[in-house]
Structure 1
Amino acid sequence: MMRQYELVDRVLAYDPKADEALINRAYVYAMKQHGSQKRASGDPYFSHPIEVAGILTDLKLDSATIVTALLHDTVEDTGSTMDELTELFGPQVAQLVDGVTKLTRIELTSEHSKQAENFRKFMLAMSNDIRVLLVKLADRLHNMRTLHFIKSQEKRQRIAQETMEIYAPLAGRMGIQEFRDELEDLAFKELNPEARETLLKRLNDFREESGDAVENIREELIAKLAEHGLHCTVAGREKRPYSMWRKMERRGISLEQLSDIFGFRVIVDSEEECYRALGILHTSWPMVPGRFKDYISTPKNNGYRSIHTTMIGPLRKRVEVQIRTKKMHEVAELGIAAHWIYKEAAGDAAATQEFAATFRWLRQLVEMLEHGGTPEEFLEYSKLQMYSDQVFCFTPKGLLITLPRGATPIDFAYAVHTDIGDTCVGCKINGRHLPLRTVLKNGDEVEIIRSAAQRPSPAWEAFVATGKARSAIRRSIRASKQAEFSRLGKQILKGVFDSAGKESSDAVLERALGALRKQDLTELFASVGDGTLDPGRVLEVVYPEFEGTKFAKTGLKKAANGKDGLSAVKLTGRSEGLAIRFAPETYPLPGERIVGILTPGEGITVYPIDASALQEFDEESQRWIDLTWETDPENPQTFTAQLRVIARNEVGSLGHIAMLIADYGSNITNLSLAQRDVDFYDIQIDLDVRDLKHLTRIMSALNGLSCVNKVIRPRR
């Protein structure tokens, strides 16, 4: 366990102005409060906050953060209070400890079913001061280093999975690559120990075969750069097992095919020397096409800057080289902690700008929280943001837009501004009109074509890659659904009240708001439209004399199957939450395949798959939605079907046809004589049936009548 003076010396080594007395006071206080508490390993509990503080000294953090690390478990695990910490260590430290305590409580109550809501609270708790997250990451890192002492395998697996899904990506998003690598490797060790051991064994064999290759390559790189007057530091490194495993899994390749098991970092004094070094290396050895990335001119979202290239280098081996300045290297190693240091430096405007850019993604998360959305959407959005790789695209005016790999023009539009995304109807990529689902590549110039009449399509969700775009699309669709539900609910209520012979004006319906706990008529209409509120219940509240009657159901049926085609039947697919109507004169039935055509602001129009009217939508595949029927066998509904019957022109023919239809449990709702001559009737019959099977049985029976020549189901 690190001693008190050792911790203070480590802080003073990088920050001579550190508050030594504050650190000493916190050390003694925390040791006293934790007393005889033990960890699962049997070590004194106080060894944990000391190790967490030690980890944070590697990031060269300020005194307040180091003190927070020492105190971070006192409120949760001892009798300490926030008032006491405020009095002894000041409000800043107390607020930081409070933030870490909130994160710990969220973590301790985490269950799989609650993960999304917990993560939402997690991000809110740390959004005010990023140092809260840095303490929590150091806390998780030390806990992962001692994970093997926990006896419960289930608990170890849960902690490791949570680390892999949440904490490691957060460390990467903060730019603290060393934290991310170690967290991933420790979680990998618990989640897939066999794969890790196999990889380590093969890596050792590979290392033995390579012998002194790494050192020989390093020396040759130094010599070649020095030969051109460029004096620098070159260091060799080896990837961690999980990093190699992930790349092998993603690319479907073997260990031997990895080009960057061993990589090299060239550290120079200035940006200009970075490009000089690149020129020297590329003129000395052939580069591998497609393996060059310039993160100096286009930094990553977490502030990372460096040049990456792969060459067929010394000894004819594939060599990955990263070229950066000393400052870039410090940022690459310490991530946001390095930005914190530079931001504190007086007058460093560029560092302050970098620091603000690094926080941009966190501000977007908080913005999404403020706009609502479900916890599950927030978790999905955050994971997309944390795991993203990048492509760099430009607006026609030259503005750089950074997007994750796999992004499309829709993502680009939303990255520029939410309004541009919402009104996007098309795009030009490098001057060419291309589909909105086109995947963008590095260097693409994207021009978004807009229309004020456009609304986001649900189909966009299938091909966007950014959480911001997905969130905005869902938010717009929710608003559109609400408006459509409100319109549909108002029509349904009017049908119910008209059938009962009662007035349904807004003034009358407002009487129901209090009893039904609705804020306004829009919410009332929407609840009826989405099926969560029975319209008959509204009738009963407004006109109590109808309480207990079945009148409202009759009204609902009339409203649902009236001339406007509105449907009260439920269908499953991408249609949840949207108002549904049947296309006029198509008569689809349960049991046959159907498809929906989405019209923004109006809902979904349902067609049978063989409807000829679908041809006009052939070029608008983004509007097509697969649907399936969802009927209740205990409460069967009836649907209108249409038949064309050609029968003999003889006495009793119509009577036989009508009697047979009635015998099969159906009812004729309309009958018209399309044509009549001396020999035959051509009759069009509308009848109520339960499903396609019911109609098929009726058609078969009609074909068996001696007076019937042919039975046809017309399709439009």
Structure 2
Amino acid sequence: MRPSLNGMTPRCWTISISADTTRLTTAYLAAWTTPTWKEQSGRRSSRAQMATKLALAQRLKKNLGELLDSSSRVPKSDYEELFSGLNETLEEYLDPRSISDIYKATIFGANAHKGQKRKSGEDYIYHPVAVARILGEMRMDSRTIMAAILHDVVEDTDTTVKQLEKKFGRDIAHLVDGVSKISHLEQTSRKHAEAASFRKMFIATADDIRVIIIKLADRLHNMYTLDSLDRERQNRISRQTLDIYAPMAYRLGMYDLALELEDLGFRQLYPWRHNILSRGLQTTSNARKRLVRRACKQINDALDSDDVKVEIEQKSLYSIYRTMERSGISLNDIKDIYSIRIITRTRQQCYESLGIAHEVFRPLPGNFKDYIAIPKTNGYQSLHTIVVGPNGQAIQIHIQTRAMHVVAKTGVASLDVPDETATADGLSSKHLAHEWVSGVVESHKLSDTTGEFMEHLKTDLFPEEVYVFTPKGDIRRLPLGATALDFAYLVHTDVGNESIGAIINDQPVPLHEKLDNGDRIEIKTRKPANPNISWLDFVVTSRARVAIRHHFSVQRKRQAQQFGKKLLYTALRNLGHKRLRIPEREKNRLLELLGINSWDTLLSDIGSGARLPLLVARQLTNLTSSDASPADTAPANLTIEGTESLVVTHARCCHPVPGDKIFGIYVAGKGLVVHRNQCTDVDATSQPLENCVHLNWSKNMVGTYEVVLVAEIADKPGILSRVSGIIAHHDSNINDITMTTESPGAARLTILLHVLDRQHLSRIIRELESESTVFRVSRQ
């Protein structure tokens, strides 16, 4: 195991080799021929195995010698120290042939990185070998170790993925490619580049979880070697580690790795706070630790079993800091710095130990959680309880089997863990991790921008969970605060899009109803899908948010294409273009001129306001054999159907409604903005011809439209009630109403309401003006 953090960088991680080392090749070979491989059973290696190991060592020595002979940069003894340190770790669990393959990868990597230095001045090869050693301490398989050694050769050397595949196989090439950052991006922003690389990594991780494990080990070693970087880069990398990498490790159940990343990031970003808190913890928590130690002994005596281990655990420094920062409390106010962990041999012993612990100390009601029956999303399993310990001190107790303890520390990196750690539905931590990664990849597919992807990723990294049941009794996990609609999107995107309501515990509820632990939920659906943009106001899962946004993005593109076609053909008619169908040859010539890939993209650009239809129509007319002549009639008006709501905006300065005389202005980023002819903010006659379009309302308009009324009233009791009653009587909803005093006894009401059309609005105005306390009503 790696040494505990003590403020100093562990020598075995930085691979900092002293120049005067005297390790000889014979010592290196001795390390290879020492019979340590797979001797846990107590049996010494056979002569055949020893002969194999010796032969492999001799061959590696020869290869290593050839490599060192071609480079005089580093003393031979330093390489031997480097390789032997890795070898000692690998020999504990890998066979000689696997280790031989790893050393081949090491020699390949050293050749590829020849001449490259890290910021610290040491040869670059030290870094990938150190990453490999970290993974070796996690007992990762040989291919993962090889990929770790080669993880930077594609990104930082001339080596290609195809060359790696030919040399080491597709599996290792895929791992290396997944870890490699995306280079030569069109975006120049660092944030865009980082987000794009994260997206690439998650796509690769969906196929092989080892990609993200290598990336985490890579980040861990980088955090230990920050000293050679400038302060700005140190802080940026540390902030990213705390915001993304450490939570990612937690999300995968790799608690040991996450704790180290957190401590390193915390120490780097806030060295003074880290130091003060560390000292304060040593001086203020002794009394509390003694109480927990007493409780630990009492429970251990009561259990009286060699199969059960009872130990004290301390909360991490960064977790303590976060609690203080979030809750605004002092160190003395934190009561759960120390807890008790009981480790058993079997699952049954977990529950038996719980009963004994509750016999020794009274449990606090409402504080028992069974994460064995219903594990966390990262595969973590344990029984949690809080008891009243000595002197009335509340003490947390966590109970788990040895296998569960291994998974709790290493998560998806754990190998050969017994089946007892599988969840109630038969899923291991690796399956649960793949499930989460697949969800992230799904978000990637639906996200329109890299920024949106990173927003959803950060949301998913901090899950507090609620557990609910499907109608068939299957358990589903959702973030705390999730709604019925979040559950619907968890089931399937189509179920979410077609949702109209839910039934929770046999009671009908709206889609925004929040879920509680143990709820049994069923979703009611209806085709066709009809999501509402307001759903984004209450859903909490990234899966739901991405799906809703994607739906409207697709709808917007479809509407933009349809509306763009109407705009273009209207413009062509106004230019005197007689043909209703544009030949493919002319379309292709126009697309080539504009530098656009497809006709649908051009129509979408026109419909969304990115291109002006009249200008495009003129360009198209100039390309055609002249069959266009100046229009001898008034310009054709474009009809607003009401189906273009995502690409047509109603101006908020004049609030047009069906029945008003209207015109449209093209605004970049908004598309077509509809104004009333009487709008005081925008004058149609002052607009360039290509920016303006004459509009009509369709006779089949549906829905409601915002309008603003200003009413001058007598400032008397009950006037607001009467005005609101009149509006409600006409089946109109009030969105907002404000009242300002104009003079003694007089006031002004500004009312934002919804109407069907101009006639509906006129009826409301007439009845308001018939009220004796209303002097005048006007439309804003």
Alignment TM-score, normalising by the size of structure 2: 0.68
Is the partner of 1:13 in helix, strand or coil? coil
The answer for the alignment partner of 2:543 in structure 1 is: 468
Alignment CA distance shift 1:519-1:79 (3 Å): closer
The answer for the alignment partner of 1:594 in structure 2 is: none
Q: How does 1:299-448 map to 2 (within 5 A)?
A: 299-338=375-414, 340-342=415-417, 354-371=429-446, 373-448=448-523
Q: C-alpha displacement at 1:374, in angstroms? A: 2.0
Amino acid at match of 2:550: R
Q: C-alpha displacement at 1:111, in angstroms? A: 0.9
The answer for the alignment partner of 1:451 in structure 2 is: 526
The answer to whether residue 152 in structure 2 is matched with residue 73 in structure 1 is yes
The answer for the alignment partner of 1:294 in structure 2 is: 370
Amino acid at match of 1:468: R
Alignment CA distance shift 1:377-1:151 (3 Å): closer
Q: How does 1:99-248 map to 2 (within 5 A)?
A: 99-102=178-181, 111-147=190-226, 149-210=227-288, 212-226=290-304, 231-248=307-324
Q: C-alpha displacement at 1:417, in angstroms? A: 1.1
Q: Deviations over 1:599-646 (max 9, x none)?
A: xx989833227698985999999xx799xxxxxxxxxxxxxxxxxxxx
Contact 2:403 2:418 in 1 (8 A): no
Give distance in 1, aligned partners of 2:513 and 2:219.
Answer: 40
The answer for the alignment partner of 1:483 in structure 2 is: 558
Give distance in 2, aligned partners of 1:201 and 1:96.
Answer: 42
The answer for the alignment partner of 2:98 in structure 1 is: 19
Q: Deviations over 1:77-131 (max 9, x none)?
A: 566665665565455334433433446999x997135433332233234443222
Alignment CA distance shift 1:6-1:391 (3 Å): same
Greater shift, 427-436 or 170-179, is seen at: 427-436
Contact 1:343 1:352 in 2 (8 A): no
The answer to whether residue 701 in structure 2 is matched with residue 605 in structure 1 is no
Give distance in 2, aligned partners of 1:105 and 1:496.
Answer: 41
Give distance in 1, aligned partners of 2:299 and 2:344.
Answer: 13
Alignment CA distance shift 1:29-1:475 (3 Å): closer
Is the partner of 1:52 in helix, strand or coil? helix
Give distance in 1, aligned partners of 2:728 and 2:244.
Answer: 47
Q: Deviations over 1:285-342 (max 9, x none)?
A: 233344332221222222222222222224432212211111111111111111x545
Amino acid at match of 1:534: L
The answer for the alignment partner of 2:345 in structure 1 is: 269
The answer for the alignment partner of 2:355 in structure 1 is: 279
Contact 1:291 1:310 in 2 (8 A): yes
Alignment CA distance shift 1:567-1:151 (3 Å): same
Contact 2:370 2:384 in 1 (8 A): yes
The answer for the alignment partner of 1:63 in structure 2 is: 142
Amino acid at match of 1:161: R
Greater shift, 425-434 or 158-167, is seen at: 425-434
The answer for the alignment partner of 1:568 in structure 2 is: 664
The answer for the alignment partner of 1:632 in structure 2 is: none
Q: C-alpha displacement at 1:490, in angstroms? A: 4.5
Contact 1:96 1:131 in 2 (8 A): yes
Amino acid at match of 1:118: S
Is the partner of 1:474 in helix, strand or coil? helix
Contact 1:295 1:304 in 2 (8 A): yes
Contact 1:484 1:603 in 2 (8 A): no
Is the partner of 2:363 in helix, strand or coil? coil
Is the partner of 1:403 in helix, strand or coil? strand
Q: How does 1:622-641 map to 2 (within 5 A)?
A: none
Alignment CA distance shift 1:537-1:512 (3 Å): farther
Alignment CA distance shift 1:480-1:88 (3 Å): closer
Give distance in 2, aligned partners of 1:618 and 1:189.
Answer: 62
Contact 1:497 1:555 in 2 (8 A): no
Unaligned runs of 5+ in 2: 1-14, 16-80, 641-647, 649-655, 683-700, 712-723, 738-761, 767-773
Contact 1:424 1:448 in 2 (8 A): yes
Is the partner of 2:478 in helix, strand or coil? strand
Given candidates 619, 622, 630, the residue that maps to 1:541 is 619
Q: How does 1:683-698 map to 2 (within 5 A)?
A: none
Is the partner of 1:260 in helix, strand or coil? coil
Give distance in 2, aligned partners of 1:509 and 1:86.
Answer: 44
Contact 1:424 1:449 in 2 (8 A): yes
Alignment CA distance shift 1:603-1:80 (3 Å): farther
Is the partner of 2:324 in helix, strand or coil? helix
> What is the root-mean-square deviation of aligned Cα atoms in Å?
4.5
Q: C-alpha displacement at 1:482, in angstroms? A: 2.6
Unaligned runs of 5+ in 1: 592-600, 627-673, 675-683, 685-709
Amino acid at match of 1:605: Y
The answer for the alignment partner of 1:705 in structure 2 is: none
Amino acid at match of 1:206: T
Contact 1:174 1:335 in 2 (8 A): yes
Q: Deviations over 1:58-94 (max 9, x none)?
A: 2111111122223333455566665665565455334
Give aligned pairs, total: 614
Identity of aligned residues (%): 32
Q: C-alpha displacement at 1:422, in angstroms? A: 0.2
Alignment TM-score, normalising by the size of structure 1: 0.74
Q: C-alpha displacement at 1:713, in angstroms? A: 5.1
Give distance in 1, aligned partners of 2:627 and 2:706.
Answer: 34
Greater shift, 554-563 or 93-102, is seen at: 554-563
Alignment CA distance shift 1:406-1:299 (3 Å): same
Alignment CA distance shift 1:484-1:93 (3 Å): closer
Give distance in 2, aligned partners of 1:70 and 1:120.
Answer: 23
Give distance in 1, aligned partners of 2:167 and 2:710.
Answer: 77
Contact 1:102 1:125 in 2 (8 A): no
Give distance in 2, aligned partners of 1:419 and 1:535.
Answer: 35
Give distance in 2, aligned partners of 1:469 and 1:329.
Answer: 33
Alignment CA distance shift 1:348-1:271 (3 Å): closer
Q: Deviations over 1:28-77 (max 9, x none)?
A: 55456656755444555443233212211221111111222233334555
Q: C-alpha displacement at 1:418, in angstroms? A: 0.9
Amino acid at match of 1:442: N
Q: C-alpha displacement at 1:204, in angstroms? A: 2.0
Q: Deviations over 1:645-682 (max 9, x none)?
A: xxxxxxxxxxxxxxxxxxxxxxxxxxxxx9xxxxxxxx
Give distance in 1, aligned partners of 2:395 and 2:243.
Answer: 31
Give distance in 2, aligned partners of 1:552 and 1:293.
Answer: 78
The answer to whether residue 171 in structure 2 is matched with residue 92 in structure 1 is yes
Q: C-alpha displacement at 1:238, in angstroms? A: 1.3
